[in-house]
Amino acid sequence: MAMATFAATPALLSTPPLNPPAPPVRPHPPRASPRLRLRLRIPRRRPVTAPAAAHAASSLSSARGDPREAEAAVAELLRDHGASPEDAAAIAARAPGYAAMLADGVRELDELGLWASWSAGAGARAGAELGAVGFGRKVYFMGRSRRDGAVVPLVESLGVRLSSAKLIAPYVAAEGLPVLIRRAKFLKEMLFSSSGYETLIGRNAKRMMAHLSIPADEALQSTLSFFEKMEARHGGLSMLAHGDVSFPYLIESFPMLLRCSEENHLKPLIDFLKHIGIPKPRIPSVLLAFPPIMLSDVEKDIKRRIHAWEKAGIEQEYIGRMLLKYPWILSASVIENYKQALLFFNRRKSIIIGYDSVRKSGSCFQISSAFLGTAVKSWPHILGCSTTRMNSILVLFDDLGISKKMVVPVLTSSPQLLLRKANEFLQVVSFFEDMGFDKKAVGKIVCRSPEIFASDVENTLKKKIDFLIDFGISERHLPRIIKKYPELLLLDINRTLLPRMNYFLGKGLSKKDVCSMISRFSPLLGYSIEHVLKPKLDFLLQTMKKPLKAVVEYPSFMIPSGSGKLSYRWEATSRVFNIQKLHLLVSARALGQQQSPTLVLGIWRKVLTSGASPTDRSRNSALLVQWIGMRFSLRHRKQEEAKVASKEL
C-alpha cells in the first residue's frame, strides 16, 4: 500500500514535460474581403389603437386616392349647399386646389391614424366608422367640416388663387352659395359680354395711369392696385377687357362685388349710366376702368358727384362723354383737384417754380377759368394732372416767347399739352432747334400747330423727317418745308403722304419734280386727292390746255378753291387776254397765309404792265382796267340775282 503511494508520488513531483513545438506558420491563401450589406431599416409603426384598427386595412388604398374621387366629393358638397348639378360639376372641375387641399388632409389623417381625434365630437365609434369609409367620402366629410359654406371652391373656380379665395370666402359666405353663383355669372355677363372695345379699354387705362399726378384717394388707390396686378402678368392692361384674364384680379381686388345685389344695386347702376348718355356696349369700359363705381350707391354717391360737376359748370351731356374717356371723374380726389386747378387759373399771377430767369422777369399768365371748363370737356385726363405740372408747361411757353393772349388759343386747341412733362416738351423743342429753328420760330410753330408738341419725337416726328429724306427731299430744304407747313409732321405716312406722292408720280411727274413741288409748296401734301388735287389737275390739263410741267413751276395752283370760282376766274380773264400765268387764277383769299393780297396785285401788275414797248404796256394796262371792270360787273350781277331769288322764296 505504501509502496503504491510512494510509486505514485514521484510522478506527481516530477517536472512536467515541455509543450510540443508549434507547427510552422504557413501563409493562408488570399481571400476576398466579405461585403457589407446595407439594409434599410423601416421604422416600426406605433401600435394601432383599437378605435383606429378598423381603418388600417384601407389606409393604403386611401393614401392613393383618385383625384377624380376628390372632385366628385367637392361636387357633392356643392350640391348639398344649393348648387345645381351642372354648376356643381363645372365649379368642382375648376377648383383643383380646393380638392387637393381636402385630399391632403384626408391622407394625413390616414397616415397618422387620427380620425378618432379629428371626429372627437362624434365619439370613438363614429371615428372608427369614418376611418373605414372610402377616400371620396372622407374628402366629402372633410369639406363638410369647414365653415365656408362651399364658397371657397366657387371663388377659386373664378380664377382666384386658393390662398386668396380662403380669405375672401368669410366676407361673402353669408350671401349663400346659390346667390353667389348667380351673381358671379351676372358680373361676367355685364363686364365682358360686349366686344369691339377691348383695345380701347386697355389703352385708356394705360393713359389714365400715365397722366395721374395727384394724390389718390382710397378708391383710386384700389384701382391702381388692380391695374398693377394686371400689368404684372403677360399682356398687361391690354387684357383688361378679357374676362378669363382680368376677372380673377377684379374679384381679388374688389371682393365686395360679390355682395352687390343685381336687382337693387347693379341693374339700377346700368340704367343710370344709360340715362346720362353712355351707350350700353360702352358701359364695361367705364366700370373696368374704375371698378369702385360698382360699389357706390347711385343716389348717395354717384348722383351727388355728378351734381358737383354740374355746379362747376359742366353740362350733363358732357359729363357722360367725359365719363367715357375718364371714368375717374367720379373720384373725390379728382373733383378736389379740379377745384384747385380753378384757383390756379383764377389767380392773377401764376407761381413760377424752378426757373430763375422767368422769376426775375416777373412775367405771368392770366387765364380765364372758362378755358379749363372747355379743355376738360375735350380732354378730361387733365383732371388728373397736378397744378405743378400745368405750371411747368406755362413757364416753357413764356421761355419760347409765346404771348399771353396766345396761351388760351394754344391750350384750347391742344389741352393735352398740360399733361406733358417738362422734359418731354423740351425734347420736341430740341428737335426743332437741331433743324435750325431758334426759340422764336419754335414758339410760332407752337402757336400754329400745338399738337406737334404732344407727339413723340422718336416714333412720330423723326419718322416723318426720315421718310421725306428717303424720298429725295434735300435736308437743307426741310426747315423751309416745316416752317411753311408744320402740320406735315402730323400726317400719316401710309395714309396721307405716300398716296399724294404716288398720285403725282402716276400722272407722269418725276420724283425730282415732286420733290421740287414739295420744297416750294409743302401744303400740297395735305390736300385731298379726290376733292382738290384731281379736280385742279384736270382743270389745268383739260380746260386750260396747259402742260403738266406748269404745276411744277407753280405748285400753289393746287390751293383749294371752289370749282365754280376757278371756272369763273378763268372765263373772265380769258375774255380779256390770253392768260399765261397761273398766279392770276389764285385768289388772295385762297392763298391765305401763303401769299398776301399785296403780292398778288404785284404779280398782276408785273404781268400786265410788262412789254417790249410803251404801246404794249399801255395796252396791257387797258386790259387790266377792262378785266377789273368786267369782274366787278359780274359780281354785281350775281349779287342782284341772289337778291331776286331770295325775294321769290
**3-state DSSP: the chain helix, strand, coil percent, rounded to 5?**
70, 0, 30
Sign of CA dihedral 425, 466, 475, 514: negative
Residue with cell string 428737335: 431
DSSP 463-530: HHHHHHHHHT--GGGHHHHHHH-GGGGGS-IIIIIHHHHHHHHHTT--HHHHHHHHHH-GGGGGS-II
Q: Does position 326 have pLDDT exceeding 70, yes or no?
A: yes
Q: Does position 160 have pLDDT exceeding 50, yes or no?
A: yes
Give the pLDDT score at 627. 54
Q: Does position 334 have pLDDT exceeding 60, yes or no?
A: yes
Q: Does position 413 have pLDDT exceeding 70, yes or no?
A: yes
Give the pLDDT score at 480. 93
Question: What is the spatial distance between Cα 340 and Cα 334, in angstroms, rounded to a whole number?
Answer: 10
- CB atoms under 10 Å from CB of 38, counted, come to 6
Identity at 53, one-letter amino acid code? A
C-alpha cell at position 503? 398720285
pTM of the model: 0.70
| Residue 477 vs residue 598, higher pLDDT | 477
Q: Does position 611 have pLDDT exceeding 60, yes or no?
A: no
Confidence of residue 46 (pLDDT cuts 50, 70, 90): very low
Ranges 60-64, 300-304, 483-487: which has the least confidence: 60-64
Using the 8-state DSSP alphabet, how is residue 133 labeled?
S
CB-based burial of residue 474 (10 Å sphere; 0-12 exposed, 13-18 middle, 19+ buried)?
Answer: exposed
User: Percent of the chain beyond pLDDT 90?
Assistant: 49
Ranges 50-59, 101-110, 562-571: which has the least confidence: 50-59
Question: What is the spatial distance between Cα 174 and Cα 148, in angstroms, rounded to a whole number?
Answer: 9
Give the pLDDT score at 102. 92
pLDDT tens per residue across span 379-399: 999 999 999 999 999 999 999
User: Percent of the chain beyond pLDDT 70?
Assistant: 70
Over range 324-338, report the average pLDDT: 93
Ranges 195-204, 474-483, 561-570: which has the least confidence: 561-570
Sign of CA dihedral 203, 208, 210, 216: negative
Q: Does position 348 have pLDDT exceeding 60, yes or no?
A: no
Q: At what angle are helices 511-520 and 498-506 packed, to 10 degrees?
A: 130
Confidence of residue 403 (pLDDT cuts 50, 70, 90): confident
pLDDT tens per residue across span 423-466: 999 999 999 999 999 999 999 999 999 999 999 999 999 999 99
Identity at 452, one-letter amino acid code? I
In angstroms, the Cα distances linking 483 to 392, 447, 450, 621 are: 26, 12, 14, 37
Over range 221-233, report the average pLDDT: 93
Confidence of residue 581 (pLDDT cuts 50, 70, 90): very low
Helix or strand holding residue 406 (H, E): helix 404-413
Give the pLDDT score at 142. 87
Give the pLDDT score at 53. 38
Q: Does position 400 have pLDDT exceeding 60, yes or no?
A: yes
Over range 516-542, report the average pLDDT: 89
Domains defined along the chain, listed by start: 53-174 (no CATH), 176-330 (no CATH), 336-454 (1.25.70.10), 563-639 (no CATH)
Over range 349-362, report the average pLDDT: 41
Ramachandran area for residue 25 (φ above 0: left; ψ -120 to 50: alpha; else beta): beta
Phi, psi for 360 (deg, rounded to 5)? -70, -35
Ranges 115-129, 164-178, 199-213, 580-594: which has the least confidence: 580-594
Residue with cell string 380732354: 379
| Residue 488 vs residue 598, higher pLDDT | 488
Question: What is the spatial distance between Cα 493 and Cα 512, in angstroms, rounded to a whole number?
Answer: 19
pLDDT tens per residue across span 251-289: 999 999 999 999 999 999 999 999 999 999 999 999 999
Please check whether residue 245 is in contact with residue 239, taking contact to mean a CB–CB distance below 8 angstroms. yes
Confidence of residue 1 (pLDDT cuts 50, 70, 90): very low
